[in-house]
Amino acid sequence: MKKTENRQELNRNLAQMLKGGVIMDVTTPEQAKIAEAAGACAVMALERIPADIRAAGGVSRMSDPRMIKGIQEAVTIPVMAKCRIGHFAEAQILQAIDIDYIDESEVLSPADDVYHIDKTQFSVPFVCGAKNLGEALRRIAEGATMIRTKGEPGTGDVVQAVTHMRMMQSEIRRLVGMSEDELFEAAKQLQAPYDLVKYVHDNGRLPVVNFAAGGVATPADAALMMQLGAEGVFVGSGIFKSGNPAKRAAAIVQAVTNYQDAKRLAELSEDLGEAMVGINESEIQLLMAERGK
Amino acid sequence: MNIAVLALQGAFAEHRQMLQRMGVDSFEVRQASDWCRPKDGLIIPGGESTVQLKLLCDLDLLEPVREAIAGGLPVFGTCAGLILLAKQVEGEAHMRISTMDIVVRRNAYGRQSGSFFVKDRFAGKPIPMTFIRAPYIYKVGDGVEVLAEVGGKIVAAREGSQLVTAFHPELTSDATVHSYFMQLVKRAL
């Protein structure tokens, strides 16, 4: 057996397997089991969900590796974990405990004001947030093998995720419509490498899987993001900050599969109990989406 | 000919693209009403088997799918699809589709760090094989033909009109395995 190494490709492939699925934030092995039983295609292990990070303030860091290992042992689905933007040592630690995907995340306090992690130096895959096409392509150039909208984490308010997804889709459509000789200038304006700009022009999509994240709280939110072009969704605070996490999680999973079937979405939206309270973007002091560009 | 592709979660679009390149029609099965359409074969894609099983149950698809396969509908399962079709998964007692006489080890190569790409023989022909947090088959029943082994582990097999691979031919441009499946479909017509 002669294995050939192309980690970038293998890591993009894992994201392809997550498509049409829901990735859920969990803080304990018990929550991880609830998420898996409800149909999560992966879990994000973290000490505090974004809503609590927002409430607590202060500096927010990578989770305790022991807590992450507990979650790895509890489920068979992939386990992801977050490191701070630019904190390559946290990423090295997460790689050392054999994490399936690292989220270099604006939800945590950034460790570097200028540089993101050079993700090409790692064998572990990375997902990164983006507000627009330029950010997405810069992260992919740095080695990210999956992209998600930033949204506004921990708010239960989907408006930012919608804005970011619409922005990315409209910028993709604009590139597709350009003539070849316009792409060089487009790359300059997007502040992104020409070859990635050319890929988007030729294929009408990002070269990696693109999920929605940040503020998704209901089956309708999930269906909205899928109809806007997301290939799957992350649900953070929306599940375990709600009245009935197991039921809400299962409903969101079904909503992602049958996102165009409004009748079914109506059934799925019934009797879910209290949704997370939510705060609007205009009421919050800290815009996490502005971290890391 | 029309192939149903289970589209509950995972890499179903890649299978449909492969079929399209081969000039074969396909459609997505997302709920019971889709399943009622006439079909000559079924593909169960890679993804997370726990998610797909949960949705098969919630959407009342598990029994109809199992009955159709037991009744001879040709089926091709990749990775998660292989797990769903296996009669036995090591350490798990619950039922899945469970129509194929194989025993499977889940996440047999470990986590994502154990994912790999290799060129090896499928039914005698060298093809590219992508393994993503893959399972392998460690025991097959009498009626099961082994089609591929990598490093001494069984990674592709056939029982009647049921075909499974632990790897993902839909992620490459090589149509060998899909063509093999279409032969099974034609034979069953």
| pLDDT per position as a tens digit, B66-107 | 999 999 999 999 999 999 999 999 999 999 999 999 999 999
Q: Tally Cβ neighbours within 10 Å of residue A262.
A: 10
- Specify whether the CB–CB gap between A247 and A37 falls below 8 A: no
Chain B residues close to A38, C-beta within 8 Å: 54
- What's the pLDDT band for A281 if we cut at 50, 70, 90? low
CA distance B40 to chain A (A): 23
CA distance A253 to chain B (A): 8
Phi-psi sector, B83: left (phi>0), alpha (psi -120 to 50), beta: alpha
Catalytic residue status for B28? no
* Beta-strand pair B86-89/B100-105: parallel
Task: Determine whether the interchain pair B58/A264 forms a contact, defined as Cβ–Cβ distance below 8 Å.
Answer: no
Nearest CA in chain B to A18: B10
Task: Determine whether the interchain pair B10/A6 forms a contact, defined as Cβ–Cβ distance below 8 Å.
Answer: no
CB-nearest to A123 from B9, B54, B113 is: B113
- Specify whether the CB–CB gap between A248 and A238 falls below 8 A: yes
pLDDT (tens digit per residue) in B6-58: 999 999 999 999 999 999 999 999 999 999 999 999 999 999 999 999 999 99
- Is the overall model pTM greater than 0.80, yes or no? yes
Task: Determine whether the interchain pair B11/A16 forms a contact, defined as Cβ–Cβ distance below 8 Å.
Answer: yes
Catalytic residue status for B168? yes
In the sheet that holds B125-131, the strands lie side by side as A3-4, B116-122, B125-131
Catalytic residue status for A119? no
pLDDT (tens digit per residue) in A4-28: 678 999 999 999 999 999 999 999 9
CA distance B187 to chain A (A): 30
What integer pLDDT is reported at residue A155 of this predicted model?
86
Query: Which token pair is B75?
Result: 């089926």
Q: Which of A33, A82, A119, A150 is catalytic?
A: A82
Q: How far apart (Å, rounded) are the C-alpha atoms in residues A249 and A242?
A: 10
Cα distances from A257 to residues A21, A144, A227, in angstroms, run: 8, 25, 11
Q: Is A79 helix (H, G, I), strand (E, B) or coil?
A: strand
Q: Tally Cβ neighbours within 10 Å of residue A142.
A: 17
pLDDT (tens digit per residue) in B139-173: 999 999 999 999 999 999 999 999 999 999 999 99
pLDDT (tens digit per residue) in A161-206: 999 999 999 999 999 999 999 999 999 999 999 999 999 999 999 9
pLDDT (tens digit per residue) in A103-115: 999 999 999 999 9
| Average pLDDT, integer, range A249-277 | 93
> How many contacts does A have with B, using Cβ atoms within 8 A?
123
Q: Tally Cβ neighbours within 10 Å of residue A6.
A: 13
